[in-house]
Chain A
Amino acid sequence: MKIDAKGMHYRQLNKMIRDAVASGEKEFELDNVGGQRYIGAGMNENVKITINGTPGNDLGAFMNGPRVIVNANAQDGIANTMNAGEIIVHGNVGDIIGYGMRGGKLYIKGDAGYRVGIHMKEYKKQIPVIIAGGTAGDFFGEYMAGGIMILLGMNGKSPLVGDYVGTGMHGGVMYIRGKVDPYHLGKEVCCLELSEEDTKLISGYLKEFCDCFNFEFNEIMKEKFTKLVPLSLRPYGNLYVY
């Protein structure tokens, strides 16, 4: 189903999509999207939504199934508390993406903004994954509690990642391609070398990532990655207890 979203309010657009899904529609192509919020939000069905234009904030919030493809940059709050599904962005994204994300995949071709994956979490097989092909701003993985984040810096921009990486991190794992200046690290993370298992783990996701955006897998793997894990599962256990 093709929808021309030009000038449409988000309520109208999202209602059209939900109504069509209820009557069995599986695939959507949205043209002229211009800032409409909450596309794909809270949807449980395995539908495919292709977005041409700039989607608004909270794209895929609480999403639980759909595959969303954005052929442009996207804005803030993508994949907020997302549970399952995929969001693939052929461009850059804004701030606070993957906030509280608890499952599914978010693949970004370019740069990500500030506060990527704050308080992401995981439970058993529910493991959220965020990969960004470019750089990221400050507070990458702040208070991260679970899941996997991979940052590639393929566009060579500097700095690769901003300040306070993993501040308050107490679960999950980050893989950053290249070296991270210790100055940028939060107090609650430590850097490790990748084990064979790590390499195997990220290879699976990165091959998928390469298929989405035509990156060379071997090119990506040429550079050494840094693995970041939390120093403690309860970094603030003794805060405020005296």
Chain B
Amino acid sequence: MKCDGIPSGCAISGMMSENGRRIDGTEIIRSIACMHDRSNGLGGGFAAYGIYPKRKDMYAFHMMFDNAGAKEATEEFFKDYFNVDKDEVIPTQKGYGISNPPILWRYFLEVPENKLEFLSERDYVTKTVMKINSEIEGSFVASSGKNMGAFKGVGYPEDIGRFYKLEEYSAYIWTAHGRFPTNTPGWWGGAHPFTLLDWSVVHNGEISSYGINKRYLEMFGYKLELRTDTEVIAYLFDLLVRRHKLPVDKAILALASPFWKDIDRMEPEQQKIATAIRQVYGSSLLNGPFSVIIGHSRGMIGLNDRIKLRPMTAARKDDMLYMASEESAIREIAQDLDSVWSPRAGTAVIGMVRAEVE
């Protein structure tokens, strides 16, 4: 899988309308296509938010099945665990060099009330996602959030985008990934984004703390089955922000903690917070080179590792926030920008949609 001497590195791109304006998928495809040479055709994918307004209160499960048997087994499972409002094929079109796709199907699900005696709804859904991925052979959940979806596979990202007909979807947040797998396999389930509930992660780099993060997450019931490091980032956000209710900026202090030498120089109050977070959440520290864009239904977060070993540029234009591995990928879709900047290492760019946006 290693390709020495070929100029590369994954590509990521994200765009968000703070006002919740819906934008079709052609722009994000153009943006990620601009960085074509950062990928090698072994993975591409997109996350889109706001795409299922008619069923916005249901969990939209995007599924990948190796065969009809896996589909049947999963549907039996869904019948036991959910009320299935609707299921349909995820529309795709042939060509664009995409070969051997799995069966791609989506389900709009509601959780029966009697299932929630001892669990919150989202914990229940998380549990079912883990169960499917680890227990049903040949069945993988590509995404499981409300009013959002992940579209991913093996191929160049622009080809994957056309394969899934993303021009037919309208979203207020889009993220995209072009993959150049180095030390984990290139397979359909292993393409980015990685998701859980409405969290999605696209990632350039590698998480060398994967082992520690994995063991930590397993203590909270997460099962890491997708054979790739990026998965931990999605689950860490779910654990820290959704379950432990840390504000996003504090969760960032756990994932990309300031160095102790810098904590020593902080004001007493800041020092206390940073120290406490490093002590409590030491096992959620992400080590290794990374730049990531995390999507969720209320916004988009960009983050670099603490010594900036992967690139990231951010930009604003009116109500739009953009982030990408290269500035040219932003300029490709928005030429006159109000501001462009390179976020500092370990410093998150936190974009939020307005409160009234649905």
State the A residues within 8 Å of B (CB): 10, 34-35, 37, 53-58, 73, 75-76, 92, 94-95, 111, 113-115, 137-139, 162, 183
Closest B residue by C-beta to A10: B37
Q: B265, B308, B328, B342: which contacts A34 (Cβ < 8 A)? A: B328
B340 close to A (CB within 8 Å): yes
Q: How far is the CB of A177 from chain B (nearest CB, A)?
A: 21
B165 close to A (CB within 8 Å): no
Q: A34, A58, A139: which contacts B331 (Cβ < 8 A)? A: A34
Chain A residues near B265 (CB-CB < 8 A):
183
Chain A residues near B311 (CB-CB < 8 A):
75-76, 94-95
Q: 5 extra interchain contacts, Cβ-Cβ under 8 A, other than A115-B308, A139-B307? A: A37-B37, A54-B327, A94-B327, A95-B311, A111-B342
Closest A residue by C-beta to B329: A35
B308 touches A56 (CB 8 A): no
A234–B311 alpha-carbon span in the complex (Å) = 31
Chain A residues near B345 (CB-CB < 8 A):
114, 137-138
Chain B residues near A75 (CB-CB < 8 A):
311, 326-328
B327 touches A113 (CB 8 A): no
A82–B35 alpha-carbon span in the complex (Å) = 24
B34 close to A (CB within 8 Å): yes
Q: List 24 A-B contacts (CB under 8 A).
A: A10-B37, A34-B331, A34-B332, A35-B329, A35-B331, A37-B7, A37-B37, A53-B331, A56-B326, A57-B7, A73-B327, A75-B326, A75-B328, A95-B308, A95-B311, A95-B342, A113-B342, A114-B345, A115-B308, A137-B344, A137-B345, A138-B308, A138-B345, A183-B265
State the B residues within 8 Å of A (CB): 7, 34-35, 37, 265, 307-308, 311, 313, 326-329, 331-332, 340, 342, 344-345
Which of A35, A75, A114, A162 has the most chain B CB atoms closer than 10 A to its own CB?
A35
A219–B306 alpha-carbon span in the complex (Å) = 35
Q: How far is the CB of A129 from chain B (nearest CB, A)?
A: 23
A56 touches B342 (CB 8 A): no
Q: How far is the CB of A153 from chain B (nearest CB, A)?
A: 16
A162–B308 alpha-carbon span in the complex (Å) = 12
A95–B326 alpha-carbon span in the complex (Å) = 11
Chain A residues near B35 (CB-CB < 8 A):
35
